[in-house]
Structure 1
Amino acid sequence: QAGADLNFIDFDGGSYVMLAVKFGFPGIMKFLLDAGANPNIPDECGNTPIEVAASKGSRDMVEMLFPLTSPSSTLSDWSIDGIISHVKHFGLKPRDKQKCAKIRAELKQKASEAFKEGKYYVASEMYTGAMAFDPSPDDCATILANRSLSTLRGGNGRAALSDATMCRMARPLWPKACYREGAALMLLKRYERACEAFADGLKLDPTNGDLANALREAQEAAKNARSREK
């Protein structure tokens, strides 16, 4: 209503109807269907909303979707019970790894472009989207580091610290993860902890000039903070 696109598809391949199904909101789904939303738009794996509803055991949603969903040629018994039985026995269609990699790369590229334009919130959202497409452990750490920087530039120190901490857990021997954690702690004015993070990074990469400079700045900030407390 009010000009909204009821069939909008997000970066995860989900329509509004699909999102209502995945999050278990039958009332919202009914509202969307009554307003004319298309119940046949599949997710990135090719699963339709009625199949996802069946996989979640949501018979009420399956019953609402059934009269509006186009029959599938892959199901011999196109009925409410037939759909539920099929999904129960065969499950949903698995993700295509190559397709996931392609979408993940596209989202990371969009995030990088948004960051360069100073659109830090958009960049962090794109990185969040990329996380949904099965990154490897190392790629996950890279995405977390980049999202941490995006939220840091956006002024959200807590979110930046959370991502940096997870980044260090995912890739503990990566100096950049220590740098990201230290930078977030500096924004939060937790200077002593920032010193520890930068020092940890220097232990991993003793010749890293950025870490050395950051450690000196953190030590100076910590010293000044202690002086003000006296």
Structure 2
Amino acid sequence: MAYVKSKEKDDPILKLNPSNMNLEGNKAYKRKDYITAARLYTMAEGDYPENVTLIANRSVCWLNMGEGDKALRDAQICRALRRDWPKACFREGAARMLLKDYEKACDAFLDGLKLDPLNTEIENALREALHSLEVSHAVKKGH
């Protein structure tokens, strides 16, 4: 146990200034080091709990790691904190797609599109979710 505590104490991430954690998280994300990025965003969130960008960034890390439940939880926190933010709707829709909850993914993307009608990324995601929903219904019916 002493080794673990010593190792944690020597972790360079713990020596970062909280204001740099988001920047370092972004760098880790660009390197596709999603675990480190999520950890940095989580640590930065401790100092800036109302910063929805940190939570949205962590949500996309979870998505990239295939952690749909964690991505959804963070997306829902974003939506609760900023109801008028299309990106939060997009993150929720993406998480629900990963979880194969196509109907609720459609709802989330539609909410995002209502907030930002010209957003082609959300529009394309909604189209994909609708298609996935149709396919899943056809499979259930045995077609």
CA RMSD across the alignment: 2.1
Distance 1:197 1:12, change over 3 A: same
Q: How does 1:53-72 map to 2 (within 5 A)?
A: none
Counterpart of 1:220?
A: 131
Letter in 1 for 2:37: A
Larger radius of gyration: 1
Structure 1: segments with no counterpart, 5+ residues:
14-101
Native 8 Å contact 1:202 1:208 kept in 2 = yes
- Displacement after TM superposition at 1:173 (Å): 0.1
Counterpart of 1:181?
A: 92
Q: Do structure 1's residue 121 and structure 2's residue 35 form an aligned pair? A: yes
- Displacement after TM superposition at 1:12 (Å): 5.7
Q: How does 1:124-163 map to 2 (within 5 A)?
A: 124-135=38-49, 137=50, 140-163=51-74
Comparing both structures, which one devotes a greater share of its residues to helix?
A: 2
1:64-102 C-alpha deviation (Å, 9 max, x unpaired): xxxxxxxxxxxxxxxxxxxxxxxxxxxxxxxxxxxxxx9
Q: How many residues align?
A: 139
Letter in 1 for 2:48: D
Counterpart of 1:5?
A: 6
Equivalent position to 1:207, from 105, 118, 122: 118
Q: How does 1:82-121 map to 2 (within 5 A)?
A: 103-121=17-35
Structure 2: segments with no counterpart, 5+ residues:
none
SS at match of 2:47: coil
- Displacement after TM superposition at 1:134 (Å): 3.1
TM-score, scaled relative to structure 1:
0.56
Native 8 Å contact 1:168 1:177 kept in 2 = yes
Q: Where in structure 1 do 4 or more consecutive aligned residues deviate above 2 Å?
A: 1-7, 9-13, 102-105
Equivalent position to 1:229, from 130, 140, 143: 140
Whole-Å separation in 1 of the counterparts to 2:76 and 2:4: 42
Distance 1:6 1:192, change over 3 A: closer
Native 8 Å contact 1:12 1:132 kept in 2 = no
Q: Percent of counterpart pairs with the same letter?
A: 42
Equivalent position to 2:109, from 185, 195, 198: 198
Distance 1:199 1:109, change over 3 A: same
Distance 1:2 1:200, change over 3 A: closer
Q: How does 1:164-175 map to 2 (within 5 A)?
A: 164-175=75-86
Whole-Å separation in 2 of the counterparts to 1:124 and 1:192: 28
Letter in 2 for 1:163: D
Whole-Å separation in 2 of the counterparts to 1:5 and 1:174: 42
Distance 1:130 1:7, change over 3 A: closer
Letter in 1 for 2:59: S
